[in-house]
Chains A and B, each alone.
Chain A
Amino acid sequence: MKALSIRGLKKTYKGGQVALKGIDLDVEEGDFFALLGPNGAGKSTTIGIISSLVNKTEGKVSVFGFDLDTQLSDLKRQIGLVPQEFNFNQFETVQQIVVNQAGYYGVPREVAKERSEKYLKQLSLWDKRNSPARMLSGGMKRRLMIARALLHEPKLLILDEPTAGVDIELRRSMWDYLEDINKQGITIILTTHYLEEAETLCRNIAIIDQGTIIENTSIKRLLATLNMETFVFDLAPNDNDETTQNLTLEGFTWRAVDGHTIEVDVEKSQGLNRVFEQLSQQKITVLSMRNKANRLEELFVNLVEKGRQPAAAGA
């Protein structure tokens, strides 16, 4: 069954700003799906329409078969939303916020209190249950929004940049948690600017730019299209600290970053052995090597630039 189905979705804001130009999108039940795009691409508008915070101009949206236009209450019950901005009452306590949210979905207060213990413990917020939300750290506030979205036990969890401004350790613990609840059967749609996050967590991906879906495939298939990667080599300094001065690398495009660091473009068919062989022959020691950029990031930039070329050319 499809967790989410979107057909011909359009949104034009008052004042004429076109945010969505008629997108089609499907997310299968149980998927961990990434919705990527640059700022202002239409990600938040799409999420806003699905969660009925934004009125659509045209098109059809259904969640687990419930139609946005005709079965709104049923549709809303399927969704848990973690928005980009903190949007809870800063003066309410942590437990009040999650229990009240469950109440809006018709969860009886006693049941909501029991569930709040479960989810606040899972997200390490139980000790803070009586603290006003304004007293929490940024990371705790992010986790509070996840707990709030889960209390009515939705089948589809939508997270709009959930780890923005969160430190690495906490980000990884949130990834583990999201992976766990996905394994338990909750479908997850994630928007993020951290492409590493999408690559690590998600199975399928859609890239949206200027209100249009420019790519919609599995992460594996998308990464397979990457033909070339750039590697950074840190070389051992020689006597005059100019290792790269007389260096040659036949068959490769490369640039010197400084006297003992080079960037080499390696096509998939070439492999790295030829680079190491040539460096060894020149008696150059490689101290370390790394990808210049995240692989998905390279693809993302390429796709967005490619998508914009005709418009730019016509302008």
Chain B
Amino acid sequence: MQSSISYIALKTIWIKECTRFLRIWVQTLVPPAITMTLYFVIFGSIVGSRIGEMGGRPYMEFIVPGLIMMSVITNSYSNVASSFFSAKFQRNIEEMLVAPVSPAVIIGGYVGGGLARALIVAVIVTCVSFLFVENVSIHNLLILVITVILTSTLFSLGGLINAVHAKTFDDISIVPTFVLTPLTYLGGVFFSIQLLPGIWQAIAQANPVLYMVNAFRYGFLGVSDVSVGIALAVIIGFNLVLFITAYTLLKRGAGIRS
């Protein structure tokens, strides 16, 4: 009984979330296509042609997985952060709080929304990459799919935690600006960490985004700077920590109950 009620509630939140980002598709789905086209043109075609190979692959091919992953990360995060904070700001989060919806269902619904948007954006960016890369091959589809789902889930959870703590709209842009962007750019999207001098390689390995980009790149190209097993374990570990954090915050009513 309770499980069927929870399933209906989960589906309702998920449909609501998908309806939201599809309603404003010009703001949610078009910008990643434009941004990634620019990346492909500038870093791939113009600069990349002078770089030659990286990780044993033409530079354009090398950056495709990283750019897809970058879109997945930013879209998962911003979808959940902005949607949940708007619900808090407009107080329609109360619609869920007064109903018998458990924190796990709220998390599932919002993360499901972030995941749906991230997957649609991943498909769009992959299609854009076909315009620039002649032979887009897939080395291991299972690793590819698992990595994109786990990464999207991780950053959706991150966006949710950020939104729970946020008091103003400025607060939800602080993490993307000061944490996400540097981690993503230094996470091996545009280069192999083997190019870095010794100590910097060790420091780079403390960056969780590195594991996501490399696991995803392995799924596409079969090359990775780190062990895929370790990469997936790191991503799963971060997912667990963030889920427990989000669950505890919602259960306690932090930022949403007085």
State the CA gap A104–B109 with chains docked (Å): 11
Across the interface, name the chain B residue whose C-beta is closest to A89.
Answer: B92
Q: How many residues of B contact A (CB 8 A)?
A: 30
State the CA gap A52–B99 with chains docked (Å): 9
Are A88 and B92 closer than 8 Å at their CB atoms? yes
Are B257 and A87 closer than 8 Å at their CB atoms? no
State the CA gap A77–B23 with chains docked (Å): 31
Across the interface, name the chain A residue whose C-beta is closest to B8.
Answer: A106
Are A72 and B100 closer than 8 Å at their CB atoms? yes
Are B12 and A103 closer than 8 Å at their CB atoms? yes
CB distance from B21 to the nearest CB of A (A): 12
* Chain A contacts for B9, CB-based, 8 A: 103-106
Q: Does B140 contact A (CB under 8 A)?
A: no
**A54-B257, A85-B91, A90-B90 as given contacts; A104 in contact with B23, CB under 8 Å:** no
Q: How many residues of A contact B (CB 8 A)?
A: 35
Q: Does B16 contact A (CB under 8 A)?
A: yes
Across the interface, name the chain B residue whose C-beta is closest to A107.
Answer: B8
* Chain B contacts for A92, CB-based, 8 A: 16, 19
* Chain A contacts for B186, CB-based, 8 A: none
Q: Does B226 contact A (CB under 8 A)?
A: no
Q: Does A237 contact B (CB under 8 A)?
A: no
Are B95 and A87 closer than 8 Å at their CB atoms? yes
State the CA gap A52–B103 with chains docked (Å): 14
CB distance from A146 to the nearest CB of B (A): 14
CB distance from B113 to the nearest CB of A (A): 13
Q: Please tell me which one of the listed residues A54, A73, A88 contacts residue B258 in the complex, with CB atoms under 8 A apart.
A: A54
Are B99 and A55 closer than 8 Å at their CB atoms? no
State the CA gap A180–B238 with chains docked (Å): 54
**A53-B257, A55-B253, A96-B19 as given contacts; A104 in contact with B94, CB under 8 Å:** no
* Chain A contacts for B5, CB-based, 8 A: 105-106
State the CA gap A94–B64 with chains docked (Å): 43
CB distance from B197 to the nearest CB of A (A): 50
State the CA gap A106–B100 with chains docked (Å): 8
Across the interface, name the chain A residue whose C-beta is closest to B252.
Answer: A55
Q: From residue 32 to 58 of chain A, which have CB atoms closer than 8 A to chain B?
A: 48, 51-55
Are B2 and A87 closer than 8 Å at their CB atoms? no
**A105-B5, A106-B8 as given contacts; A53 in contact with B94, CB under 8 Å:** yes
Q: 13 interchain pairs (CB within 8 A)?
A: A13-B258, A51-B98, A52-B98, A54-B257, A55-B253, A77-B100, A91-B20, A92-B19, A96-B16, A101-B95, A104-B96, A105-B99, A106-B100
Identify the 8 closest CB pairs spanning chains A and B, nearest first.
Answer: A103-B12, A106-B5, A104-B99, A73-B100, A87-B91, A76-B100, A89-B92, A106-B8
Besides A54-B258, A81-B98, A105-B9, 4 other CB < 8 A contacts? A88-B90, A103-B8, A104-B101, A106-B6
